[in-house]
Amino acid sequence: MPFYTEEGIQIPAVTTDQMREVDRVAVEDFNFEILQMMENAGRNLAGMVINSLDDDGPVLVLAGPGGNGGGGICCVRHLRNHGIDVSLALTKQPSELGKAAAAQYHILSHSGFHALPTEGVEHALRTSKIVVDAIIGYSLQGAPRGKAAELISLASEHAPRIISLDVPSGLDSTSGEAPGVFISPEITLTLALPKTGLSGSSCALYLADIGIPSEVYSRIGIHYEPFFAGRYSIPIEFRKQANSDKNLAFQQGEN
């Protein structure tokens, strides 16, 4: 399933299992910390939000308890550092966040910033210019449930514009299927390598560099050559039929 840059450079796509193995090799064999990848993801996501805004917000970030949510929480800090009016809604209590996401939230809370109470979320959704979806990443298992499902439904109903991190929440990152409620974003900023489930996406797709060395991909049999060319995020597209002709038109949304 080839994706391409605007210049026609082919980019390999990965399934959920392959991306999970990339993360495992990066952490266990290369001592690449989850917080390092999360920081790079959050900073790139903040840059995407800033470039998509006409002014200084407001922005609402919806974050789950795992790695995807941690990237969203990190994004909040970077947006605040750039003077953006940003709020945060969590699907779990701060005490229930995973270790890396909790570390990101710890920084925010010690800076005097706290997630919205439940009763304030719908108003923030209605009034925000951009909503960031960092609820569920490639770790989706079955239909979203509980507060995650509630926030996905509210965002789908009320958010004027949505930017998803890595994979739109509710979509299977391998198949692109939705077993329950799901996000239909304007933009998806996927991480490291595009996910095969994004091949049918109709939104604008961008790929973010989160610093994983090419040798990590080589360990699991993925051929990787640098393609970011001095940028930390780039627009990409899926082409149904592989063709490396650089003169082909850049046809966004083809599936």
Distance CA 60, CA 79 (A): 11
Q: Is the pLDDT of residue 158 over 60?
A: yes
Q: Which residues fall within 8 angstroms of residue 241, CB to CB, at 6 or more apart?
A: none
Whole-Å CA distances, 156 to 14, 27, 129, 139, 246: 27, 35, 14, 20, 36
Closest CA to 201 of 185, 217, 221, 214: 185
Is pLDDT above 50 for 249? no
Helices (H), 53-166: 67-81, 99-109, 121-127, 146-158
Q: Is the pLDDT of residue 180 over 90?
A: yes
Contacts of 58 (CB under 8 A, 6+ apart): 85, 86, 87, 124, 127, 128, 129
Looking at the chain, the whole-number percentage of residues with pLDDT higher than 90 is 89
In this prediction, residue 61 carries a pLDDT of 98
Under a CB-based contact definition with an 8 Å cutoff, are residues 213 and 30 in contact? yes
Residues 60-79: pLDDT tens digits?
Answer: 999 999 999 999 999 999 99
When pLDDT is averaged across residues 125-134 and rounded to a whole number, the result is: 97
Rounded distance between C-alpha atoms, residue 204 and residue 5, angstroms? 12
Q: Give the mean pLDDT of 226-239.
A: 93
The per-residue pLDDT for range 26-50, each reduced to its tens digit, is 999 999 999 999 999 999 999 999 9
Cα gap 124→108, rounded to integer Å:
19
d(CA 109, CA 154) in angstroms, rounded, equals 25
Is the pLDDT score of 247 beyond 90? no
| pLDDT given at position 2 | 83
- Residue by residue, DSSP assigns 5-63 as ETT--EE--B-HHHHHHHHHHHHHTT---HHHHHHHHHHHHHHHHHHH-SSS--EEEEE
What is the homologous superfamily of the domain 3-238 according to CATH?
YjeF N-terminal domain (3.40.50.10260)
Please answer whether residues 125 and 149 qualify as being in contact, where contact means their C-beta atoms are separated by less than 8 angstroms: no
For the chain, domain boundaries: 3-238
In this prediction, residue 56 has a pLDDT band, given cuts at 50, 70 and 90, of confident
Q: How far apart are the first and last CA of the chain?
A: 11
